[in-house]
Amino acid sequence: MKHEEALRRLKTVEGHIRGIERMVEDGAYCIDVIRQIQAVQAALSKVSTLVLNEHLNSCLITAVRGEDPDERERVLREITDVFAAATKT
């Protein structure tokens, strides 16, 4: 997996969250806080996309090419479950 890219982005998010914490502690304007939260959410979405892409190109392909139909079904079900969870409100 492109661990370096995901880790770099996560460290950026971590710093960004600390900045948001300071904003809240300092009583920053609510809309500014919300904008920063949205930026963090977008950054986490990008990390999720990176991890999913790597999963599809490694674990999923390995399972699909493998001999075990139960493993194929399990991996496909995992992906379906992740997307189902992401769309719950």
- How many separate domains does the chain show? 1
Domain span including residue 49: 3-87
Kindly compute the dihedral angle of the four CA atoms of residues 38, 44, 50, 53, in this order, to the nearest 10 degrees.
Answer: -90
User: Predicted confidence band at 83 (pLDDT cuts at 50, 70, 90)?
Assistant: confident
pLDDT tens per residue, range 15-43 = 999 999 999 999 999 999 999 999 999 99
Greater pLDDT, 22 or 80: 22
- Which residues have a Cβ under 8 Å from the Cβ of 13 and sit 6 or more positions away? 40, 43, 44, 47
Domain CATH number, residue 36: 1.20.58.1000
Give the residue carrying structure tokens 């950026």: 12
pLDDT exceeds cutoff 60 at 1: no
- Segment 40-60 mean pLDDT: 92
